[in-house]
Amino acid sequence: MKFGTTFGIERLIEDPTLRAPLKGKRVALLAHPASVTRDLTHALDALAALPDIKLTAAFGPQHGLRGDKQDNMVESPDFLDPRLGIPVFSLYGEVRRPTPAMMDSFDVLLVDLQDLGCRIYTFITTLRYVLEAAAAHGKSVWVLDRPNPAGRPIEGLTLRAGWESFVGAGAMPMRHGMTMGELGHWFVATLGLKVDYRVVAMQGWAPDAAPGFGWPTERSWVNPSPNAANLSMARAYAGTVMLEGTTLSEGRGTTRPLELFGAPDLDVPRLLADMRALAPEWLRGCVLRPCFFEPTFHKHKGALCAGVQIHVEDPTHYHHTTFQPWRLQALAFRAVRLQAPDYPLWRDFAYEYEHDRLAIDLINGGPLLREWVDNVTAAPEVLEQAAAADEAAWAETRRPYLLY
């Protein structure tokens, strides 16, 4: 019995006519641990079992094909798959872009990556890089499409020119509301790439349908990266990811990373009161719960942190179209500033191999958010107007590329 959403990998496996153009071609797969079929068979194993597919290589993005690297900026090595005997190349190790030797290992690259719908999530940057390499080397790229678990909403400032990085693949807002397959079409058009690009689309994906609003809840969740533990994290991530550029803990070292934030010296009751007084409309669609946590690793390891957990799982409280995680987190930063004007909020360290720009600015694709937070006299309307203009523009920009 079939029901719900059929992912691109499943359609490719089930329909020989979709695979027909791959006959006689050398095929590579770019994948990670969440690249699984409905019965949780990994895409590499599922493809290897097909007699008409000739697998010659595999690629892993950040955190690796196996997803074994816990933290950010931990590189993965190349290795030989012990069962299939094919090379597995890391695109987050010695290189970020595939080398000519890597490109020589295949004719068609299948991309089967579960995304989170956030600009900073590096799998979309890797997609851009492999598309550019494929255009340069005359290779084909097929995206086996998967859901955007954060759904269609758009939020955040658009990345400014000159702020491109490994966490900023192009001029899109923080929460882009597109699938990987759709983003591939946008990259090809925006970058003017001459490349054979195809999408094996999903069937039955309903991004506006409750209760998942992007994620088909009848499907098992497999972490696309080690700290992407569930749908709640995916919903909050477009805001909580900014914590990586601060001294506040984002909950790494706890069992709910990127769903909460805090620090040992926060006055949480005052923080929440200031947030509600400043911009209560930015707190809609969720429940904020004061909490305490003690990270076992990462920032504030072993210290008791006072913090806030963002709850978006209860359908009576979660409202998909009004929840604004990016604004919520920006408001929390401003409340920290009001509570302690000299608080060392912005983390000054090398972030994704960038040494001369603050991490918070790289994450946001420019300095506007940080400048708004630090200028405590700037009203919420200042940030609201800038973001709303970018969001409206992106809604029009992405329209021609939407497949569902």
Strands 87-90 vs 79-80: parallel, antiparallel or unpaired: antiparallel
Tens digits of residue pLDDT in 217-263: 999 999 999 999 999 999 999 999 999 999 999 999 999 999 999 99
Q: Answer yes or no: is 261 within a domain.
A: yes
DSSP state of 108: E
E strands of 91-229, at which residues?
A: 108-112, 140-144, 196-200
Cis peptide before 207 (omega within 30 of 0): no
Q: Answer yes or no: is 2 within a domain.
A: no
**Distance between CA atoms of 257 and 264, rounded to whole angstroms?**
17
Q: Answer yes or no: is 226 within a domain.
A: no
Q: pLDDT value at position 1?
A: 39
* Structural domain span for residue 201: 8-220+396-401
Name the more confident of 79 and 311: 311
Encoded amino acid at 96, one letter: R
Residue at token pair 């209560």: 280
* Tally of structural domains, the chain: 2
The answer to whether residues 173 and 297 belong to one domain is no
Q: Answer yes or no: is 149 within a domain.
A: yes
Average pLDDT of span 187-198: 98
Q: Answer yes or no: is 124 within a domain.
A: yes
Residues 14/47/28/183 CA torsion (nearest 10 deg): 40
The answer to whether residues 105 and 249 belong to one domain is no
The answer to whether residues 216 and 321 belong to one domain is no
By C-alpha distance, which of 329, 315, 323, 178 is closest to 240? Answer: 329
pLDDT > 90 fraction of the chain, expressed in percent and rounded? 90
